Structure 1
Amino acid sequence: MSPYQRFYHWIATTPPLFECIAPFESLQKLAFSPTDTSDYSGNPRLGFLYQHLCTELLTNTSSYSVELEEVQINKDNGQTLGAIDLILNNHQTRRQEHWEVAIKFYLLHQGTWFGPNAHDQLDKKLKRMLTHQLKMSTTPEFLAQYPQLTGLSEHLLLQGRLYTNPFSPEPVPDKCLGLKLNQSQISGHWCYQHQWEQIGEPLYELDKPLWAIGQTEIGNPVEKPNGRFIHAQTASGQFWFVVPDSWPGKT
């Protein structure tokens, strides 16, 4: 199975970061067909690949078809308001739906979930998704472009993994912005560069397209990083971030 096929299967079977209460979505309930995505030639960045595979998966079910994808919304003066990921036709409810999809990785530090780039934080990302991204389909600018698409329901597919530091333990929140986190997705580890020796087993660095699924064939272990963050796995498949001692710095 190619990495793209493994990622496709991961998206279909992995719970989201939050418990599946509206607007949060999971694809686990869908009956999907396998796909041959080994010939993917689009943008290799993780977010683009993830959205492509989500779209592929949704359209490989009997429940959905894509009405619109990656819809740019602009003001009259040309200023960009943002983009809508997907407008889907739900063949079961016979309604149209606005979907936003994202894959994210966050590390718990002093009660806050930070991205490896610490300017990215789960609470800020979630607030923007709920109050800006999912509201794009109700803006006058969108409705002027697509007057037939009114009353769309809102759906958020937010997958990824949450990481805790076993060498600097702290209470693990069960909510973010009052919404319940999916405890099964708090499964990764992270540590500072100065805590490297405490890991106690070799790490194998992962290219970003493999952050979700890991490697099936490991190569040479990575040496202790110097001033950069790495995402890696052990031979048994445990995921680790190792971050510089200055992380998260000023945010």
Structure 2
Amino acid sequence: MNDAYPLFSNPSQINADFSWLQNQFSLLSDKRFPVVPHHLWQPTLLPSPAAYTGPSRIGFYYQWLLNQLIDCHPHLALEAEEIQINEAGKTRGAIDFLVRYQGQLEHWEVAVKFYLAYDNRWLGPNAKDALDIKVARMLDHQLALSSHPSFCQQYPHWQPSKKRLMVQGRLYRHYHSEQPLPDWPPVNHDSIGGWWCWPDALPTDREFAVLARDQWLSLPAFADLPKLERASLQGLSRTCHLLDDSLTPWFVVPSDWPANVPPLPSRQ
């Protein structure tokens, strides 16, 4: 990343990320889940250049990108965003987006995620998160918020007729592993686009560069990235995200990964 730009503020990266969001497939199978249809974004005008000023976390940045794309979409209108649902003085949750499309109000829950195939599960790079847990929460809790009595009482003028998920990101296979890919939840195989490994398994027949946190969506040109010094992988304590010289992304995880695998969700 250009040192002149703080995280999530490089204009060329932001514009590339808008295009990435339009073209990247859902992580989840559209045959099994109520996902926002991919064709909805094709073709769509790109937003005018804007500056992101939110928190330097990729989830907040992704939601901002989507907000901008909805705003310039000829057939979508953003009715509301981040609607807090309160019950007995406590916040029960927040609805990500209420969107009008073809005359109907839709409830969208959105996320950008990166998962690694391990032991029949898709685990997050820090192994504290898992795709099965995320999907269960989005279906059972987040999408249910727009039917909750507290929402209906607080916002009687909003009655969504459809509920959809928009989960993008990337899935990573275990390098040189013979294990089959996880069988739940059903994923879109077009979103599988990288490898992961422990430090001692990183191939030596290619060059690697280091990705900053705001370069995880649209992958920059290899020549523009700082090159990996392999000595930095000795005693690795945090997962690092790399790009090889064939433009394939990699996660290299610490030798003790995954130290604490989250329990399976109850729906399984």
In structure 1, C-alpha distance between the alignment counterparts of 2:229 and 2:105, rounded to whole Å: 47
Alpha-carbon contact 1:15-1:28 (below 8 Å) kept? no
1:63 alignment partner in structure 2: 75
Q: How far apart, in 2, do the equivalents of 1:2 and 1:96 lie?
A: 33
Which of 86, 89, 93 is residue 97 of structure 2 equivalent to? 86
- The runs of 5 or more residues in structure 1 that have no matched partner are none
CA contact (8 A) 1:15 1:26 kept: no
Of the candidates 184, 189, 214, which is equivalent to residue 176 of structure 1? 184
Q: Which residue of 2 aligns with 1:133?
A: 142
Q: Distance in 2 between matches of 1:58 and 1:19?
A: 22
Matched, 1:219 2:226: yes
Paired position in structure 2 for 1:43: 55
Q: Hey, what's the Cα distance between the residues in 1 that align with 2:67 and 2:211? A: 24
What is the TM-score normalised by the length of structure 1?
0.91
Question: What number of residue pairs does the alignment pair up?
Answer: 244
Percent identity between matched residues is 34
Alpha-carbon distance in structure 2 between the residues aligned to 1:176 and 1:129 = 15
What SS class does the counterpart of residue 213 from structure 1 fall into? coil
Question: Does the 8 A contact of 2:18 with 2:65 survive in 1?
Answer: yes
The 8 Å contact of residues 137 and 152 in structure 1, kept in 2 or not, is answered as: no
After superposition, the Cα gap between the structure-2 partners of 1:246 and 1:171, relative to the gap in structure 1 and judged at 3 Å, is same
Match of 2:212?
Answer: 207
Q: Is the 8 A contact 2:82 2:94 kept in 1?
A: yes
Contact preservation (8 Å) 1:11, 1:27: no
Q: Deviations over 1:5-62 (max 9, x none)?
A: 1001100011111222451123443331122334222223111110111111122111
Contact 1:103 1:160 in 2 (8 A): yes
Give the superposition deviation at 1:199: 4.7
Give every structure 1 segment of 4 or more consecutive aligned residues whose post-TM-superposition deviation is greater than 6 Å: none
Name the SS for the 1:176 alignment partner: coil
Aligned equivalents of 1:161 and 1:155: distance in 2?
19
- The CA deviation string for residues 102-141 of structure 1, in whole angstroms up to 9 with x for no partner, is 1100001111110012120010111111111111111111
> Superposition RMSD on alpha carbons, in Å?
1.7
Map 1:1-251 → 2, pairs under 5 A: 2-21=12-31, 22-30=33-41, 31-76=43-88, 78-90=89-101, 92=102, 94-173=103-182, 175-177=183-185, 180-196=186-202, 198-216=203-221, 217-223=224-230, 224-225=232-233, 226-251=236-261
What SS does the corresponding residue of 2:40 show, helix, strand or coil? coil
Query: What stretches of structure 2 of length at least 5 have no aligned partner?
Result: 1-10, 262-268
Is the contact between residue 27 and residue 188 of structure 2 (CA under 8 Å) also seen in structure 1? yes
Q: If the length of structure 2 is used for normalisation, what is the TM-score?
A: 0.85
Instruction: Report the secondary structure of 1:39's partner residue.
Output: coil
Counterpart residue type for residue 150 of structure 2: E
**Following the alignment from structure 1 to structure 2, what is the Cα–Cα distance between the partners of residues 222 and 123?**
35
Query: Aligned partners of 2:84, 2:29: CA distance in 1, in Å?
Result: 29
Please give the alpha-carbon distance, in whole angstroms, between the structure 2 residues aligned to 1:199 and 1:16: 32
The Cα of 1:184 is off from its aligned counterpart by: 1.4
- The residue type equivalent to 2:213 in the other structure is K
Q: Distance between the aligned counterparts of 2:257 and 2:37, measured in 1?
A: 32
